[in-house]
Amino acid sequence: MRLLLFSLVLGLNFSTVWAGNGTSGGGNIYGDQLNPWFLQNTPTVSYCVEIDPDFSDLPRSRVLEVVGESIEFWKKTFREYRGINFSQDSFEFDVKLGTQSFQYKDTCDGKEDLKFQMGFLTQEQQVLLPNHRQLLGIAYRTSYDSAQLRGKGFIYVAPERGPSRPVKPLMHPRPWSHGLNRPLLFTLQHELGHIFGLQDDHYGSVGLMDAKLVERVTERSNVRDMNKVNAIISSYPFGCNMKLESHGAYSFLTSESEKGKWVLVEVLSRNGRIQIMHDKKLWGEIELSFDRAVSTNDVSAISVYLTRAQRVFRNLPREAYNQHLEIYHNSEYELRDQQLKLVSGEVKKFNMEFDRNCTALGFPDV
């Protein structure tokens, strides 16, 4: 039997590729500026939230809820990847992210590690950020302890109203207040991503760390879609994780059963199970067996730059210092020898591939 499956229509149409002036992250000019703000030696991170009246129509309690959700999102994401996906080749160097307990403080007193500034920048910060009238959001590190590898700073999210509302003609009038507040959640997730060391993605379409993400989710024409219950930018900012969740419509060629005719099927991948629907009826199912998963692509996720001042890692070789240590993650997989059980009772064996979006790219012949 010959099975070919071609992608792809993703659940949410975000396939546009955005070009931009990418920063390579290479070279030493950035020093430790690209480091995650917190590594595993930091057990707790204190944070506080200050909200300007111009920020949104949302009550404080709702803003706090969304902030909390965005933090939980990253902790969960790192938990799901831990152990299986991060690697660094040349020597033993174990980086864990998102292990901290984030502790909320009622008031900002300057001692907090992370301050959420909803709708305002101080005058000093406005000087630091000359483009602030164009900014929708930013994560800004104000200091870094290069012994403890620990940063401190703020996340700014622009206000919907008032003199500091960004000068953006395409911006929705109330991107944060509208509906389920998803644009706010996605924006906070994106900015927190920077705190965990992820850089803007200028070329990919992976979603969450897309350099243009915040701009797009706050656009007049997108806010309504963003607030749909199923709107997910990308649950897996490092590419596909082991849950392989995706949803797509495919042209499907089954040369035997359909006599070489292309048919349109819907493929739903969830919790390790793939369901293939044809004419709204179940056509076949695959129970994915992950022990047959092979990584087919490693991509640099974050980089860590160490100087001799660092006190976190012991017994590192000389080459660990004064360069960017790239920590890779596996973003694409091949799952070999999977079983497709057709509703008709037939069982077929074949290989599958998953791309960075967890989208099944093809079912090669077996």
- List residues binding Zn ion (CB under 5 A): 200
Question: Nearer to Zn ion by C-beta: 138 or 231?
Answer: 138
Could you give the 3-state DSSP secondary structure of residue 63? helix
Question: Nearer to Zn ion by C-beta: 200 or 326?
Answer: 200
- Could you give the count of Cα atoms lying within 13 Å of 177 in the half-sphere of its Cβ? 16
Q: How far is the CB of 329 from Zn ion (least distance, A)?
A: 18
51, β-bridge pairs: 118
Q: How far is the CB of 267 from Zn ion (least distance, A)?
A: 31
| Contact assessment for residue 160 and residue 168, using Cβ atoms and an 8 Å cutoff | no
Question: Nearer to Zn ion by C-beta: 200 or 245?
Answer: 200
Q: How far is CA 361 from CA 241, 249, 332, 356, in A?
A: 15, 12, 10, 10
Q: How far is the CB of 23 from Zn ion (least distance, A)?
A: 11
Q: Which two tokens stand for residue 183?
A: 């644009």
Question: Nearer to Zn ion by C-beta: 215 or 326?
Answer: 215
Q: How far is the CB of 200 from Zn ion (least distance, A)?
A: 4
For CA atoms 42, 46, 49, 50, the dihedral sign is: negative
Q: How far is the CB of 128 from Zn ion (least distance, A)?
A: 17
| Contact assessment for residue 340 and residue 1, using Cβ atoms and an 8 Å cutoff | no
Closest by CA to 189, choosing from 207, 171, 177, is 207
In the bound state, the residue with its beta carbon closest to Zn ion is 200
| Contact assessment for residue 288 and residue 270, using Cβ atoms and an 8 Å cutoff | no
Helix H or strand E segment including 41:
none
Question: Nearer to Zn ion by C-beta: 5 or 192?
Answer: 192
Question: Nearer to Zn ion by C-beta: 152 or 190?
Answer: 190
Q: How far is the CB of 27 from Zn ion (least distance, A)?
A: 20
